[in-house]
């Protein structure tokens, strides 16, 4: 029988040479790997060589990591990082923001499109599919980590999280399911609406619109403009999505100037170019770095998990920070 669940999952899979491998970080690695595989499958439709697919995946993956970290540092934890700037790159101690992941991915796609002279909207339409998968996997990682919790509830599927009193909504599982369910919807959009940007517009709108209502079940630790952390960014993203939906509709009706046809590429001429050794090594390094990413607020990681796993400390740079482990972990 389904009943309340007591969360006691270790968020660290194991350690190699003193480096911790996190379930949350593994979700990033799985998402990036799935992105590469998916883009390789659809590359001919996008007129991309295998080398260009690797370049696109690397641009997006690095953008995700940089964007997620940057938004976490600047928007969510700036008071902490202002005092401890040396910890900004310490992703193995946690700290990635969801909206930063999306902004970073968009920046990576834009950079690739500019450098390789590829149509941005068609590239974006392809990326939203693995993007939704990555966001879904990330939420599963958040649940295993146990830091993002929902409001107190007595529903049958409530969860007792390690550091929150009472039973809570597993809100990250709600959001993760929403992200994964977007995949068949977006695939349907791609099949039925060939207008460039149609799938992208719908992802940009439906991702934050649905998340806004799901986040009402979330217990936010901080607030901006009387809204929970991230809700203001959800609203901004919804407005951008509305604008993209309008433009997509106008483009389909022929009321926007037609887009220029892209130039012929090597793959269009039947010539493929394999990825370089540098690209293969770089992608492997991205996967290795990804699995070391902890979750949520950086200053919480040593206190939450230090009793269970050695080495989660700031003493190498900031020995004065109190990181006494919490007894609940």
- pLDDT one-digit tens code per residue, 232-264: 888 989 999 999 999 988 888 777 765 554 544
Q: Is the pLDDT of residue 157 over 60?
A: yes
Q: What is the number of domains present in the chain?
A: 1
* 270, part of any domain: no
* 47, part of any domain: yes
Average pLDDT rounded to a whole number, residues 74-81: 86
Residue-by-residue DSSP string for 285-315: HHHHHHTT---S-GGGHHHHHTTTSTT--ST
Summarised one tens digit per residue, pLDDT across range 167-207 is 999 999 999 999 999 999 999 999 999 899 999 999 999 99
* 2, part of any domain: no
Q: What is the pTM of this model?
A: 0.88
| Beta-carbon contacts of residue 83 (< 8 Å; ≥ 6 apart) | none
Domain that holds residue 210: 17-260+275-305
* Least confidently predicted of 52-56, 214-218, 223-227, 320-324: 223-227
* 317, part of any domain: no
* 163, part of any domain: yes
* Least confidently predicted of 61-75, 211-225, 280-294: 211-225
Summarised one tens digit per residue, pLDDT across range 50-61 is 999 999 999 999
* 5, part of any domain: no
* 1, part of any domain: no
The per-residue pLDDT of the chain, averaged, comes to 86
* 36, part of any domain: yes
State both tokens at 148.
Answer: 């993002």
């Amino acid at each position: 029988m389904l009943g309340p669940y007591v969360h006691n999952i270790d968020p660290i899979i194991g350690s190699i040479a003193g480096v911790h491998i996190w379930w949350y970080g593994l979700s990033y690695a799985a998402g990036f790997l799935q992105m590469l595989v998916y883009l390789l499958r659809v590359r001919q439709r996008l007129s991309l060589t295998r080398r260009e697919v690797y370049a696109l995946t690397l641009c997006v993956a690095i953008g995700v990591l940089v964007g997620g970290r940057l938004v976490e540092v600047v928007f969510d934890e700036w008071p902490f990082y202002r005092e401890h700037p040396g910890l900004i790159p310490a992703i193995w101690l946690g700290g990635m923001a969801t909206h930063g992941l999306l902004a970073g991915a968009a920046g990576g796609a834009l950079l690739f499109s500019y450098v390789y002279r590829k149509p941005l909207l068609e590239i974006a339409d392809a990326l939203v599919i693995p993007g939704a998968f990555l966001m879904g996997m990330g939420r599963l990682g958040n649940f295993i980590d146990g830091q993002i919790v929902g409001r107190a509830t007595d529903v049958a599927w409530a969860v007792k999280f390690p550091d929150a009193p009472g039973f809570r909504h597993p809100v990250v599982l709600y959001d993760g399911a929403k992200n994964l369910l977007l995949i068949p919807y977006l695939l349907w959009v791609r099949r039925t609406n060939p207008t460039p940007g149609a799938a992208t517009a719908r992802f940009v709108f439906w991702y934050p619109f649905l998340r806004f209502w799901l986040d009402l079940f979330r217990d936010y630790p901080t607030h901006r403009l009387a809204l929970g952390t991230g809700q203001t960014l959800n609203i901004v993203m919804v407005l951008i999505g509305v604008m993209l939906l309008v433009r997509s509709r106008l483009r389909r009706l022929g009321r926007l100037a037609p887009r220029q046809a892209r130039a012929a590429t090597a793959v269009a001429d039947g010539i493929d170019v394999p990825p370089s050794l540098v690209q293969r090594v770089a992608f492997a390094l991205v996967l290795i770095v990804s699995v070391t990413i902890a979750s949520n607020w950086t200053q919480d990681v040593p206190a939450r998990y230090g009793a269970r796993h050695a080495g989660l400390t700031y003493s190498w740079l900031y020995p004065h920070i109190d990181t006494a482990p919490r007894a609940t972990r």
